[in-house]
Structure 1
């Protein structure tokens, strides 16, 4: 089953909350309280997002985190890549030669096309889009 990890799910919640208050520094504790997550989990996710240059931090008493760029420019694909690495529904989508039947597989190209289509949707969706229901947009 294709499934995002729990930390990726939470990263989307965190960045969406930050998009709601784009110009306000938000502390780890504040985000944790608002989203009913542990501060440890939020801190871990913010570190990963910071390493990917999606959020920036300011230290100090009045410190906190901000999105590193406009929310409209941060895609769902960016968040997934920061948390899980490049999107790859199978090993052969990521890199040839990693599968024992790579040279014989008749599905490899199909999986690559599927992977590209999924990625194409995810790069169109921004964290701002997640602030409102997507149903009508994709039905």
Structure 2
């Protein structure tokens, strides 16, 4: 099963919250309270994201983490995944030279074809920006009916 790590999922949540509150600066403690994420985990994530240049930070008693509002429009989900997990590679033969990738590389009938799939997935992830991760609001059916009744009075 293809599945992102919990840290990567949390990284998207933290970045999205920083983007929503931009340009306001947040401490890890404030961000943990805002998101419900565990603070020690969040500190680790924020340091990783800062090293990757996806968030900015200020040290000191008035320090914290922040994200410029425009950055949310240019930071892709692919960049976040790669910052947290490294290069995206669905199979071993994508991340290492084919001859040393696995025991069947010499006779593999699909040798090199996983690259097409990997590239397609990477292209999609690169087109989805942090700002696109805004949650879709679902209106419960009962509320929708009530709104219609009020509108038609």
**What TM-score, normalized to structure 2?**
0.82
- What is residue 9 of structure 1 aligned with on the other side? 9
Q: Which runs of 4+ in 1 moved over 6 A?
A: none
Contact 1:55 1:66 in 2 (8 A): yes
Per mean C-alpha deviation after superposition, the further-off stretch among 44-53 and 94-103 is: 94-103
Structure 1, unpaired ranges of 5+: 134-139
**What TM-score, normalized to structure 1?**
0.90
- What is residue 58 of structure 2 aligned with on the other side? 58
Aligned length: 133
Paired with 1:15 and 1:108, the residues of 2 have a C-alpha distance of 37
Is 1:99 matched up with 2:102? yes
Contact 1:28 1:43 in 2 (8 A): yes
- What is residue 83 of structure 1 aligned with on the other side? 84
The alpha-carbon deviation at position 103 of structure 1 amounts to: 2.4
The alpha-carbon deviation at position 81 of structure 1 amounts to: 0.2
Paired with 1:23 and 1:37, the residues of 2 have a C-alpha distance of 21
Structure 2, unpaired ranges of 5+: 137-153
Contact 1:87 1:119 in 2 (8 A): yes
- What is residue 73 of structure 2 aligned with on the other side? 72
Paired with 1:107 and 1:24, the residues of 2 have a C-alpha distance of 50
User: What's the RMSD between the two structures over aligned residues?
Assistant: 1.4
The alpha-carbon deviation at position 95 of structure 1 amounts to: 2.0
Paired with 2:108 and 2:18, the residues of 1 have a C-alpha distance of 44
Q: Secondary structure at the match of 2:56?
A: strand
CA offset digits 1:67-98 (Å, max 9, x no partner)? 26711110000000000000011111112222
- What is residue 27 of structure 2 aligned with on the other side? 27
- What is residue 136 of structure 1 aligned with on the other side? none
